């Protein structure tokens, strides 16, 4: 696509993702999980990981597969829930094998969890619809993750997960937080600041 607005990119990639059958989503999600695990083997210092969970009806990457593998290798996992009154993400420590329910937006939320500080998190998996060759991303337009990442005092690895290759360029806004990496079924893209 030639220089598109963020809204055009959102629409394009939402539609593109919906073309996949559930089996294709699972296959691609498994390939992404395998690449993440290989990347983590080269970064054993990373123990505290923040994970988002998929809205199934939108054919998002099935990160439950990744969660299962990360639990097996003993990583400490976190996720978030939206605090609508403060319009921010609250960090939740994820108990092993926690059960989930879907909130009114279809976002999986753990039934048992403890709200904690985000200060131990070393790696954040960032949801996205599109991204470019510099690590700029198009999210869902609410700005929750940009605020969440911007609020962290410690250095944190920001890793996108996508079924697709990057766009050439996405116009970044002042509040946008760019990615360090993006993992697809075929590649690990590395971005430098």
For 69-125, the pLDDT digits (tens) are 999 999 999 999 887 776 788 999 999 878 898 888 888 989 888 899 999 999 999
| Amino acid 43: pLDDT | 97
Question: Quick one: pLDDT band at residue 193, thresholds 50, 70, 90?
Answer: low
CA-nearest of 84, 130, 73 to 107 is 84
Q: Is residue 96 part of a domain?
A: yes
Asked if the model's pLDDT at residue 39 lies above 50, the reply is yes
In a domain, 104, yes or no: yes
pLDDT computed for residue 1 by the predictor: 43
CATH code of 22's domain:
3.40.50.10420
Q: What is the pLDDT of residue 86?
A: 63
pLDDT level of residue 192 (50, 70, 90 thresholds): confident
Q: What sign results for the dihedral spanned by CA atoms 52, 79, 140, 190?
A: negative
Model confidence pLDDT, tens digit, residues 2-12: 457 889 999 99
pLDDT digits (tens, 9 = 90+) for 128-187: 999 999 999 998 877 889 889 988 999 999 999 999 999 999 988 888 889 999 999 999
1 lies in some domain: no
pLDDT of residue 174: 82
**Domain span at residue 54?**
6-190
Using alpha carbons only, what angle is made at residue 43 by residues 41 and 45, rounded to the nearest 5 degrees? 120
Alpha-helical runs (H) found in the chain: 6-18, 22-41, 63-72, 144-150
CB 123 within 8 A of CB 49: yes
Looking at the structure of the chain, the number of domains it has is 1
**For residue 2, what is the DSSP state?**
-
Residue 93 within a domain: yes
Quickly count: other Cβ atoms within 10 Å of residue 30's Cβ.
15
What does DSSP say about strands 137-138 and 130-131: parallel, antiparallel, or unpaired? Answer: antiparallel
The two tokens of residue 26 are 């699972």
Whole-number Å distance between alpha carbons of 3 and 155: 31
Decide if 160 is inside a domain. yes
């Amino acid at each position: 696509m030639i220089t598109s607005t963020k809204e055009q990119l959102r629409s394009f990639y939402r539609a593109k993702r919906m073309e996949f059958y559930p089996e294709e989503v699972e296959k691609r999600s498994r390939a992404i999980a395998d690449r993440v695990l290989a990347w983590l083997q080269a970064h054993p210092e990373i123990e505290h990981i923040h994970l988002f969970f998929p809205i199934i009806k939108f054919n998002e990457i099935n990160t439950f597969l990744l969660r299962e593998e990360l639990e097996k290798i003993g990583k400490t996992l976190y996720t978030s829930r939206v605090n609508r009154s403060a319009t921010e993400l609250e960090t939740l420590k994820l108990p092993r094998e926690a059960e989930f329910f879907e909130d009114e937006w279809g976002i999986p939320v753990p039934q048992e969890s403890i709200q904690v500080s985000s200060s131990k998190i070393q790696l954040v998996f960032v949801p996205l619809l599109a991204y470019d060759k510099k690590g700029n991303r198009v999210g869902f337009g609410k700005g929750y993750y940009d605020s969440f990442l911007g609020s962290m005092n410690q250095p944190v690895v920001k890793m996108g997960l996508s079924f697709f290759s990057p766009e050439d360029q996405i116009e970044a806004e002042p509040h946008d937080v760019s990615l360090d990496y993006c993992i697809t079924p075929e590649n690990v893209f590395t971005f430098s600041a």
